[in-house]
Structure 1
């Protein structure tokens, strides 16, 4: 074997693992860690004949690295080196090195927490921070601590904050390989990209073909962009020696393998790849990289309970990984579809999947492991609480957890299945209905992107149509879409992959299928029922105009008018999680009888009592409901009076105290009580805010028997507010916050308490002659604010110091008033004058 940079540090790694059970290995891209480390450690004495497990984040990388190591030993895969990935395994009795995908490790740990026949676990490409890698490492660390002190754990990565990982692994030693990367010349755009991505990529590919030699690796965000770029390239004037090789996860294994193999002599290969080619793989012959700078990642929303694929800018670490593909074997060149200024704004690393993903599988694995609190395990990033809580709610709905979050026997069955708990639950429930075959087909179909492509595919999102197409391709080798001539784009390759995976699932449940017989898999009528088992939270009830209310309370809608949009009930398998009404991408109809059968134990009977704003009254209905969906309802002749009162008070709380029959007397009483409360907080707070917060205490007993605004109008708020006062407080209220003040003229003038800090007495000036001092209330603590009025009851002066007014201001006011009201009495000495409420005092 030719020398690789990793060879230089292998002796140090071997030495460290003889002295320690944990280590962190950082090696630059192309150093050879993936294929050299397992081979270098396979004969270490501490292994004692046990196996080495190496985790890879992707199936393609797992198969490729296993084949490479087997070839280095002059063997076939399945001998000393084997692999085990979802639905595919090549291992034998003599296998010592097993390359596995991360989900396989968690199932192995659940089956045997001590991993008695394993001596070393290698976590390759850990910087990708997949959900399974984080979980697998957390479980392995605890298994090592509790059951297997001699088990070795090594975390390997090209771009990784080694110090944080080493600290989490109790200060594990860190070994660094600098690697040998050939120089890569990097080109940036001079200005931000404009127009369609695919058009710009094709132009850049043509430019690179003319400027550079060697094969090319083009990074695109997803399969759709790859197909469009491939189509544009085939329509362009490409040299006949050019070979196009798409590379993404949904392609058949043989197509993926062909993409990473060395090109044919005399041919130039252009590999159009997603981020699947970012790490672990060396695509032979590549010395040119074109990077779109985009990647597609799943983003889970705990608010909606839905996952959507989101196209995001790559991180700095990912961009460097991609560029490194051009310098694996020779000096290379990298074209980046962004400017140097945009490059400086890239984030350092892509967010770990554990922060963005649907945590339902993780929550089930933790429950199966016996962990209720994730903090019991070691994590670089703990699972977010909101997403974990949503996962627990879903698992409770599926019957996988009990109310105390402990795993049930059904949950253990789901944890053992290589499927999302939703789909595993669907197949388990299908067995009870004799529909295992169809459930396997549906599970495989839901695990793939839509097999119908093109703009018109959105005009009919019915899963029944997809299942018809799938079976047609499987049985006749071509799609038969009678009555659906618009669907001219059928991904027949995807159909065959789906059918192959369905066959593998059926093999796992072959005993159930033998009991059911073939006839059960023919009819498509049960698709809605099966879908409701997998997505009980996405059962929708029609609201009209193609809009639906989902069981979880969210809205959903069809983008176009179609037959499914008129179904009373549907189950949505895919939604885009955009806006208030998520767009329905895939769905099937279900009858009310079917959904009640699926959710029998979760259907609730209740008597709903609520305040109806339109009628300004309390309404009561008996309802049969499933989450937010009301399946049936009928009026209730006599509702529980406590519930009616509670609903009435709730209506007042939402609409405000304006629903109550306030009048001048009750408002003045409220203001007088607030005045006393300001002086002494032992008095009740009867401000509007406080009254709204304590409706049940002060209004509840008086509102018992009321159920509408008309009923409330018969209440006396004055009496109700007075009932909040003690006998002494009632007496003190009249004494210290009187309703009226008798002025020198003999008039009884009301006091305005609207401003509790400064109550106002509005009175004609002439009625105060002879009154030397400002009157006070509140035990003499608060002077009244005197609003002095003209004979026409218009304000002429405001004062809280009547003595000063008589001495300094009265004569100027008198001059003005005497001119406007010459017939009235305006004495020169107001303190000795006779007060009057007439034009002039009586003789």
Structure 2
């Protein structure tokens, strides 16, 4: 059958011959996956290696090309996926999953015998594809100028990758067959259940159109729910997702006797032709992993698909005949969809990438031509984990790290398998796969028992077989470790997720890595003191435990004892509102033993109290506020609320001896500490130019307030009797707030002689009526100052 890609194959070959690299942009259904490698057979010397993002797609592509040649797989065309390699000496085209190319490059950077590397479906921007392209491009520039590189994509904006490779772009127009898009008349109403809406749309598509149906759902759970709801007499319903046994995956993509509905995840988006599919029903959702470097945990989030993903899915309907693409959203919502999905490198756990970079000799990846560089924060966290596992040391890979890199596992599990030995293979396979006891509590021990006796737990035979097969394969990678329990094995893999229960009734724990986790109320493990947490929902604030295993403290010490050490801790406790001094035996952030520290050095207490002061606030006394106002007038130091706490270590710390609590601090006066910031000359200048008080005719010192627009004192009128000159500060009249005998304001003046001569008479008249026992002379300038009332007459 002619395919659209055939029209540009000559251009592709010419561009590759002239430049040694080319970017091929072809829409879904053009035929690039199965036509391009065959078209390059004559031109390329050596083996052609083509990368596919998924095992099912790799097998299917190899089988289709072998069928085109009239040969069995393993002759001219072969494939290699995790745990399986079907090739021979005659193989010229090898279809591989992306991780296999990375390991091959690490073993043989020169790619001996390989003439061309093809990156298929590069628009998916998987982490391994990005790394593979960066490594291959460096190899081509440094070692293998003759190595041909082809990057193929259905929906990728070809510009950036073409610029990275300085490569020409060849574009194929059109699909094999047209696909008619159909949207909802209006957006789904708020509160509509996704699975209910999908069931209705699938049923509608089956009723209105002929042919097989491929429905896209975000995950296995949604597939199972929708499958249980569908009632389509005479229609075969087939699930398709990554965890299915390969035989069931093949059954889903093979033509059926009658009509069929395939309920699939993104596994069916690319490189697959399901021949009897004429209808696509797109739920418009995609499940993506989001890694939080701060917690070291990954969470799965369900998001709207991008326009590129929607186009890719719709293309599945036009592979062998005209098709229809139903969409579970209104046409007007198309514009709100993002153009492309995020590259995996932007949001993934980078531990495996960091190990590959260390093995390559470029720990930070700075010299590698990444299309999207790895985020610095996530890479630093990954490197820290590898250092904790002993895989790298000062950025360089260790022999232990080389052993981990050779294993087809996350470095955590590879470390566990290397240290614990082949006996940890069951746990490694179990933790690498999907949960076989979903919603059956968090105890990992139950899952290990279910692996041995699936019938007793009602576990699907296919899932157990898959995990057992993987465990069998992993046993050959196991080191010579001793006889460790499952809990100890898990602790080796997750030393940062040892959980110590917090005080209280709520099932909450603190992880050795510093983050908090919780458990559903009523779980059988809710009362355990120590756990190893192997899986959570990844919530960045307080994650919920999904899988964990209890561990005895003695067993924990036996495997991570080198990480446990005594620490003297003297900190401010916001909860206790005081300095707390403890001696703790700690594993990371958790304290396995906690004792009082009676003889804590005073300087440590003072430093901890300083943290408390910054929390509680300086709270200066009225006298300290007046002092700060005086200092501010002469600009002797920064008296702002922000500046004082910032430099408190310099001026306040020496005065905090004996202060340990919020109550102590409440009684503490910071004025002496503030005064000590000034040297002798500054003190003299301050007192001379901005005096702290006014001395009254009675010899009493009244504090001057400098916080307003002018210096001010509050003083009783009678205390100023006899004063005929207005007091001044640096030639500026002092503002006098004149008070009644009861201390209430009666007048404000900056001209005392004027007050005596003017409004005093009215004030005195009012005061005589209110305070008859106090003297109110007609001529206050001739009276003696007083604070006393007149004596009673007998």
TM band (smaller chain): over 0.9
Per-residue displacement from partner, 1:639-666 (whole Å, max 9, x unpaired)? 33432332233333333446xxx87xxx
Question: Structure 2-normalised TM-score?
Answer: 0.92
Q: 1:679 aligns with which of 627, 633, 636?
A: 633
Per-residue displacement from partner, 1:265-287 (whole Å, max 9, x unpaired)? xx112111111111111110211
Q: Does 1:569 align with 2:530?
A: yes
Task: Give the structure 1 partner of residue 613 of structure 2.
Answer: 652
Residues 833 and 334 of structure 1, relative CA distance in 2, 3 Å threshold: same
Task: Give the structure 2 partner of residue 306 of structure 1.
Answer: 297
Task: Give the structure 2 partner of residue 442 of structure 1.
Answer: 427
8 A Cα contact 2:632 2:639, kept in partner = no
1:116 Cα shift?
A: 2.5
What SS class does the counterpart of residue 164 from structure 1 fall into? helix
Residues 820 and 641 of structure 1, relative CA distance in 2, 3 Å threshold: closer
Q: 2:714 aligns with which of 758, 762, 765?
A: 762
CA distance in 2, matches of 1:11, 1:579: 52
Report how many residues are paired: 787
CA distance in 1, matches of 2:638, 2:533: 52
CA distance in 2, matches of 1:464, 1:824: 90
What SS class does the counterpart of residue 374 from structure 1 fall into? coil
The equivalences for 1:822-833 within 5 A come to: 833=782
Q: 1:693 aligns with which of 643, 646, 654?
A: 646
What SS class does the counterpart of residue 452 from structure 1 fall into? coil
Task: Give the structure 1 partner of residue 256 of structure 2.
Answer: 263
Residues 372 and 835 of structure 1, relative CA distance in 2, 3 Å threshold: farther
CA distance in 2, matches of 1:686, 1:407: 52
Q: Does 1:465 align with 2:459?
A: no
Residues 820 and 26 of structure 1, relative CA distance in 2, 3 Å threshold: same
Residues 579 and 798 of structure 1, relative CA distance in 2, 3 Å threshold: same
Q: Does 1:414 align with 2:368?
A: no
Task: Give the structure 2 partner of residue 485 of structure 1.
Answer: none
Q: 1:452 aligns with which of 437, 444, 456?
A: 437
Residues 804 and 303 of structure 1, relative CA distance in 2, 3 Å threshold: farther
Task: Give the structure 2 partner of residue 495 of structure 1.
Answer: 464
Q: 1:535 aligns with which of 494, 504, 515?
A: 494
Q: 1:545 aligns with which of 506, 521, 524?
A: 506
Task: Give the structure 1 partner of residue 456 of structure 2.
Answer: 480
The equivalences for 1:372-771 within 5 A come to: 372-402=363-393, 404-431=394-421, 436-437=422-423, 439-453=424-438, 457-458=439-440, 460-473=441-454, 479-481=455-457, 489-509=458-478, 526-543=485-502, 544-578=505-539, 580-612=541-573, 618-657=579-618, 667-668=622-623, 670-681=624-635, 683-685=636-638, 690-704=643-657, 719-743=672-696, 745-746=697-698, 748-753=700-705, 755=707, 757-768=709-720, 771=723
CA distance in 2, matches of 1:761, 1:250: 82
CA distance in 2, matches of 1:294, 1:113: 39
CA distance in 2, matches of 1:734, 1:221: 76
The equivalences for 1:1-150 within 5 A come to: 2-44=1-43, 47-48=44-45, 50-150=46-146
Task: Give the structure 2 partner of residue 167 of structure 1.
Answer: 163
Q: Does 1:179 align with 2:174?
A: yes
CA distance in 1, matches of 2:138, 2:262: 41
1:720 Cα shift?
A: 4.6
Residues 672 and 732 of structure 1, relative CA distance in 2, 3 Å threshold: farther
Task: Give the structure 1 partner of residue 747 of structure 2.
Answer: 797
CA distance in 1, matches of 2:117, 2:687: 85
Per-residue displacement from partner, 1:4-26 (whole Å, max 9, x unpaired)? 11111111111111110221110
CA RMSD, Structure 1 to Structure 2 (Å)? 2.9
8 A Cα contact 2:198 2:226, kept in partner = yes
What SS class does the counterpart of residue 565 from structure 1 fall into? coil
CA distance in 1, matches of 2:495, 2:90: 45
Residues 764 and 370 of structure 1, relative CA distance in 2, 3 Å threshold: same
What SS class does the counterpart of residue 375 from structure 1 fall into? coil
Residues 82 and 409 of structure 1, relative CA distance in 2, 3 Å threshold: same
8 A Cα contact 1:672 1:733, kept in partner = no
Question: Structure 1-normalised TM-score?
Answer: 0.87
Q: Does 1:250 align with 2:239?
A: no
CA distance in 2, matches of 1:612, 1:309: 35
8 A Cα contact 2:58 2:97, kept in partner = yes
8 A Cα contact 2:655 2:673, kept in partner = yes
1:251 Cα shift?
A: 1.0
Question: Which structure 2 residue ranges, 5 or more long, are not aligned?
Answer: none
Per-residue displacement from partner, 1:330-363 (whole Å, max 9, x unpaired)? 2221211112222231111111111111111111
What SS class does the counterpart of residue 397 from structure 2 fall into? coil
Q: 2:226 aligns with which of 229, 232, 239?
A: 229
CA distance in 1, matches of 2:263, 2:520: 31
CA distance in 1, matches of 2:186, 2:592: 57
Question: Which structure 1 residue ranges, 5 or more long, are not aligned?
Answer: 474-478, 482-488
Moved more, 309-318 or 224-233: 224-233
Q: Does 1:218 align with 2:212?
A: no
Q: 1:188 aligns with which of 175, 183, 199?
A: 183
8 A Cα contact 1:569 1:592, kept in partner = yes
CA distance in 2, matches of 1:838, 1:508: 96
Residues 839 and 607 of structure 1, relative CA distance in 2, 3 Å threshold: closer
1:619 Cα shift?
A: 3.8
Task: Give the structure 2 partner of residue 486 of structure 1.
Answer: none
1:796 Cα shift?
A: 1.6
